[in-house]
C-alpha cells in the first residue's frame, strides 16, 4: 500500500491578491448579499432579510445556497472498479460497492487516523454529461481542495488520475419545498427528481443546462445539490429564485442549519487530530472495511480506527444545550462540577430553531453521557450546559 499522505507536505495554496469569485458573484451583489472572504473565496454571508430569516426559510420552504467554492473532482482510470479500488486505499468507505447513481460520505485519513478532509463520493452513470464527471466524482471542502488533490496525486497508483473541475458551479437547494420547486423549473424531469431518495443522483436538464443532481445537503433538510456548468449557473439560479418558495441564503444560515443538524465542519469538529470514531462517524465505515470484512483496513490509520471501534475512543463529540441565553462559542473550555477540565467547544450558536444556545464539543468519554452537567467558560465565568443528543433538530432526509 502507498505510504500515508502527510498533509504537512502538501503545497501551500498560492496567495491570491483577492478572494476568488464564484460564477454567481454578480448575482449575489444584485441581490444585496453581504460579501465576505471565506476559504479563499468571496461569498455572501447573508442577504438583506438577515441570517435568521434565511435559516427559518430553509426549514419552512426552500433556500438557495451558492457552494461553488467546494472542490469538484473527477477520478479517471481504466474503469470504475480500478478507480474505486484505488480510492479505497485512501478512505474507509465501501467505494467498490457503490451502486450507479449513488453517493456516499467518507474521510481522507492520516496514518494516525486524523481527518485530512471529509468528502462525498459519487458513482455517476457511465458517460454521464459526456464523461465530464468520470467514473468516480468527488466533492471536497474548499479550504482543503489543494491538499486533497495533492493527497490523491500522491496516493493513487499509475493510471488513476484526479482532476479538479474548474468550469462547474455547485448550487444547494435546501428545504421541504426544494424538490418541488426544482421540478417546477424542469417539469419534464419532475418524475426523475421526485423518485430520488437521499444520496441518490441523476443527470437532469435544468433551465437548459445538463446537470448532475443529488438528493443531499448540509442542513438536515430534504434538498438537492446541483453540479452545473459555470456558464449556465446564473440562469439556473435566477430560474430557481423566480419561484415563490425559493429565497437566497448565505454562509451564516448554512452554518447555523448544519449545527442544529449536528453535522461536522472541517476545521471545527474535524481535523487531523480527530479520528472518525471520536467524531461519531463510525456509521460511515461499513462492515466490509472493518476487521473481518472482505476488504478490511487498507487505508491510512486503519489500525487506530479498529482499536477505537473495539475499545471505544478516549474522547467523543457531543451536543451541548446551554441553560442560560449566553452563546457558547468555539474554543470555550469545558469543566465538570468539580472544576476539572474535560474538553472544549468546537462550534456554538444561538439556535433559531431551538431558541436557545447550542454547541458541539469534544469531551473525555466519561463526561459524554446524555444529561451530564458541565460548565463552559465564557468571559471568565462558568455557564451551565448539559450534554444533549445530536441532532438538535430532527433530520428530514427523504429515505423512502
Which residue ranges are tagged as binding site for substrate?
225
Parallel, antiparallel, or unpaired for β 41-46 and 20-21?
parallel
Which among 219, 176, 179, 168 is positioned nearest to 65, based on CA atoms? 219
C-alpha count within 13 angstroms, C-beta hemisphere, residue 65: 29
DSSP-derived secondary structure for 120-179: EEEEPPTTGGGGTT-SEEEEE-GGGHHHHHHHHHHHSPTT-EEEE-TTEEEEEEESTTHH
For the record, the C-alpha cell of 3 comes out as 505510504
The answer to whether 162 and 25 have CB atoms below 8 angstroms apart is: no
Instruction: Kindly report the backbone phi and psi dihedral angles of residue 53, in degrees, each rounded to the nearest multiple of 5, phi listed first.
Output: -65, -40
**What length is written for the chain?**
400
Q: How far is CA 121 from CA 38, 132, 138, 315, in A?
A: 24, 15, 5, 28
Distance CA 351, CA 320 (A): 12
Residues at the annotated binding site?
Answer: 225
Sign of torsion over alpha carbons 302, 308, 309, 314: negative
Task: Return the H-helix or E-strand segment holding 115.
Answer: strand 115-123
For the record, the C-alpha cell of 162 comes out as 484526479
Amino acid at each position: 500500500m502507498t505510504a500515508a499522505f502527510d498533509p504537512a507536505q502538501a503545497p501551500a495554496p498560492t496567495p491570491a491578491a483577492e478572494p476568488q469569485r464564484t460564477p454567481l458573484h454578480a448575482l449575489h451583489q444584485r441581490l444585496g448579499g453581504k460579501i465576505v472572504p471565506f476559504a479563499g473565496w468571496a461569498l455572501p454571508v447573508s442577504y438583506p432579510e438577515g441570517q435568521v430569516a434565511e435559516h427559518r426559510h430553509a426549514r419552512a420552504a426552500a433556500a438557495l445556497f451558492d457552494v461553488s467554492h467546494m472542490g469538484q473532482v473527477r477520478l479517471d482510470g481504466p474503469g470504475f472498479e480500478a478507480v474505486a479500488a484505488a480510492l479505497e486505499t485512501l478512505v474507509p468507505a465501501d467505494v467498490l460497492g457503490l451502486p450507479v447513481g449513488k453517493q456516499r460520505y467518507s474521510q481522507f485519513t492520516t496514518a494516525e487516523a486524523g481527518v485530512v478532509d471529509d468528502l462525498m463520493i459519487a458513482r455517476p452513470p457511465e458517460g454521464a454529461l459526456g464523461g465530464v464527471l468520470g467514473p468516480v466524482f468527488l466533492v471536497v471542502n474548499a479550504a482543503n481542495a489543494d491538499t486533497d488533490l495533492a493527497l490523491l496525486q500522491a496516493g493513487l497508483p499509475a493510471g488513476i488520475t484526479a482532476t479538479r473541475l474548474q468550469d462547474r458551479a455547485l448550487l444547494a437547494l435546501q428545504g421541504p419545498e426544494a424538490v418541488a420547486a426544482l421540478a417546477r423549473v424542469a417539469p419534464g424531469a419532475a418524475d426523475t427528481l421526485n423518485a430520488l431518495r437521499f444520496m441518490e443522483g441523476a443527470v437532469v436538464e435544468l433551465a437548459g443546462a445538463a446537470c448532475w443532481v443529488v438528493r443531499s445537503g448540509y442542513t438536515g433538510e430534504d434538498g438537492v445539490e446541483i453540479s452545473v456548468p459555470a456558464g449556465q449557473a446564473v440562469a439556473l439560479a435566477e430560474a430557481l429564485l423566480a419561484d415563490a418558495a425559493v429565497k437566497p441564503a448565505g454562509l451564516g444560515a448554512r452554518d447555523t442549519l448544519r449545527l442544529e443538524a449536528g453535522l461536522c465542519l472541517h476545521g471545527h469538529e474535524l481535523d487531523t487530530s480527530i479520528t472518525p470514531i471520536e467524531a461519531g462517524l463510525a456509521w460511515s465505515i461499513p462492515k466490509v472495511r472493518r476487521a473481518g470484512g472482505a476488504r478490511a483496513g487498507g487505508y491510512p490509520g486503519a489500525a487506530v480506527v479498529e482499536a477505537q471501534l473495539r475499545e471505544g475512543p478516549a474522547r467523543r463529540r457531543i451536543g451541548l444545550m446551554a441553560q442560560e441565553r449566553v452563546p457558547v462559542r468555539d474554543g470555550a473550555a469545558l469543566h465538570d462540577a468539580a472544576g476539572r477540565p474535560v474538553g472544549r467547544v468546537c462550534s456554538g450558536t444561538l439556535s433559531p430553531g431551538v431558541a436557545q444556545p447550542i454547541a458541539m464539543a469534544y469531551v473525555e468519554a466519561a463526561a459524554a453521557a446524555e444529561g451530564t452537567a458541565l460548565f463552559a467558560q465564557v468571559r471568565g465565568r462558568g455557564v451551565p450546559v448539559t450534554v444533549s443528543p445530536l441532532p438538535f433538530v430532527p433530520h428530514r432526509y427523504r429515505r423512502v
